[in-house]
Structures are given as structure tokens and as C-alpha cells.
Amino acid sequence: MPKEFHFRELKKATNNFDEKRKLGQGGYGVVYKGVLPEDNVEVAVKWFSRESLKGEDDFLAELTIINRLRHRHLVRLLGWCHKNGKLLLVYEYMRKGSLDMHLFTGTGEPLSWALRYKVIVGVASALHYLHYEYDQKVVHRDIKASNIMLDSNFNARLGDFGLARALDNEKTSYAEAEGVLGTVGYIAPECFHTGKATQHSDIYAFGALLIEVVSGQRPGTKINGFQFMVDYVWSLYREGRILEAVDKRIVDDYNTEEANRLLLLGLACSHPIAGERPKTQAIVQMISGALPVPPVPPFKPAFVWPAMMSIDDMSMATSIDTTPLSISQYETDWSPLSRENYSGYTDRSMV
């Protein structure tokens, strides 16, 4: 079980939070590598930033959720320190670092097709646990390559629950008062209108991750005139050339049937209408090949926001008179990510 650490223990373990021990840094703070002296165990110590007024709330939210989570594909919490305004979490150390590091920075080992497929299987299993197997439904809300850690055997571990929230059984979404949170390229279109994260929006982020792992390109990559990778892959699919999206670094050594399946599943999970996206139980079976991927339309459907419809009802909307936003409008009108900036687009749709 996780335990409470004294600050002096973590200070000693990280050599006084030495810059050379820094593993990463994000909006929620800095992560350091440490070694617990009493048993010589390597750990990752996440020190939450106090620059944000919500720092303590973020810490407590993360601690409350992950304290009881138990799954082989989740980063394990070893303990915490919460005293005198200092907010720290202690995780098991992941020797191979993040998936992002291996895909993009050049500092990790190149990932073979077999390892990429293994990572996808692990993340899908973890997501299904969060959505349906834990005693509360947990929406992660920030699934992306940099939040997927790899152990010494390249097993995927989903981590960073700083944005995660547990849902009561009767609820289907969690709303943030200050607007949309997450990472551009992984954020589902309905989140810009509602400010709510749901299991549907986690699936959208997973779809972006699928395409990212297969293609070796970030979701926000601009390519061949397209502003987002998902749109480029959709165009390749429409032209019968979807396998051209496969990462050029592995084109001589990958399974074409598996790559085709994962790219199509990525598009299915990226469906602009939330209710049309597959659920995690089906996704796990589709990845293994036990179930076929649902039919993917040749053209990406437009995002529609029918008045007075809930997210779960959106799948019933077959047509609506809409005015699509152009790509240039999307870039200028939908940034920065705050609900106030989207209030004027509630009844508009996005391609």
C-alpha cells in the first residue's frame, strides 16, 4: 500500500532535488529520479508546482484516485508527502522512460512494430480498467504519449492522473469550471462546447494515440496541407492508401494487417460524434482481431451539436444544417483553450 513520506526522505533520495536528476517537467510540476536509501529502490518523485492556485486540489485529486487503483498497466503509486505546503507523489521508476521519448526525442531506443503493438495493447487494457473494471468510473482526461511510461520490458504503464477525475456511478461526465483541459490534438471536439470530459473523450484521445504510435507523428503534425494527423490519415484511407501513414522508420518490418486494423480503429475512435466511438471492451477485442473494426466512412463526418441533445444522444443525429469551420478558422478561433473563447461557437460545427 502507498505510504506517507517525510520531505527530508525525498530530499535525500533525489540528492536535494538535483537538476541532473530531473526526468521531466509539465504544467503540474517537476519529476525527479530518486533512490530510497533504506531499501535502495529507484523511484520517480513528482513535486507539484504551487504556481497554480489549484495546485493542492490537483494533488489531492490525483492522490485520491490513484491511491486505490491496481492494474498491471498503470504506474504504481508508492507514497506521498503533503506537509507545510509541499505536495509530492512517489511512483515506481520506469526504466525506459516515456513513450514520447522513444517516438520523438531520439534519446530512447527505436520502437519496433512488435513493441508498438504491445504498448497499444497495454494502454487499451488500462483504459478499460479505468472506465469499467474499477469500482468507480475514472476518466483520465490526458491520454498522450508523454503520459505513457515504459518499464524495463517495454510494458506500457498509463500514468499522470493529475487531470483524472472519478465519476459517481450515476454521472457520465465531469465538468471543469475554468474550461477545457487536456492537450491539443487529443481533445475531443465536444469538449470545446461542453467543457466536460467523459469516457467518450478518453476514447477520442486514445484514437489520436493509435495513429501517433503507428505513424510516428504527433496528432498536431501539419502534413500535406492537413492541420492534424487524423485528417491526413482519413484522406489516405479514402484513397485506399492508408498504410502510407505507417512510420517510415519501420516500413520494412511491420505487420500490414495489424497496422491497417490499428489505423482504422484510430479513425473510428476519432469520430467527431461522441456516441459513434467504440467502447473500451470492444476496442480491446478489435486490437486483438477478435472483433472487426466498425465501418469507417470515407470522408470524416462533420462535428454537429444538436440543440438540447446530450452527448450520449448525439449518435442518433443523422443530419443537421450546419456551417462548418474552416481549418484556418479552427486555428485562430479555437485558441487559447478556454471556454470563454468558445462561447460564440456553440451552434457551429467543425470538420
Q: 475554468: which residue's cell?
A: 178
Q: What is the DSSP letter of 102?
A: I
pLDDT at 109: 72
pLDDT at 327: 31
Instruction: Quote the mean pLDDT of the chain.
Output: 81
Identify the CA nearest to 209 among candidates 220, 194, 198.
220
Question: Alpha-carbon distance 61 to 218, whole Å?
Answer: 28
- Whether the CB-CB separation of 144 and 186 falls below 8 Å is answered with yes
171 annotated ligand binder: no
Given 100, 142, 160, 247, which residue is catalytic? 142
pLDDT at 59: 67
- Whether the CB-CB separation of 208 and 278 falls below 8 Å is answered with no
The question of whether 142 is a catalytic residue gets the answer: yes
Percent of the chain at pLDDT exceeding 90: 56
Domains and CATH numbers, the chain: 15-92 (3.30.200.20), 99-344 (1.10.510.10)
Question: Alpha-carbon distance 58 to 69, whole Å?
Answer: 17
pLDDT at 270: 97
Identify the CA nearest to 263 among candidates 189, 184, 220, 208.
208
pLDDT at 335: 31
What global pTM score does this model have?
0.81
pLDDT at 167: 65
pLDDT at 69: 87
Q: Residue 338 has which C-alpha cell?
A: 478556454
pLDDT at 173: 63
pLDDT at 179: 56
**Per residue in 254-277, pLDDT tens?**
999 999 999 999 999 999 999 999
pLDDT at 176: 54
- Whether the CB-CB separation of 283 and 270 falls below 8 Å is answered with no
What number of other Cβ atoms are within 10 A of residue 115's Cβ? 21
pLDDT at 157: 96
Question: Alpha-carbon distance 147 to 126, whole Å?
Answer: 13
pLDDT at 283: 98
Question: Alpha-carbon distance 28 to 87, whole Å?
Answer: 11
Residues of the chain with pLDDT under 50: 53, 177-178, 307-309, 311, 313-351
What number of other Cβ atoms are within 10 A of residue 7's Cβ? 14
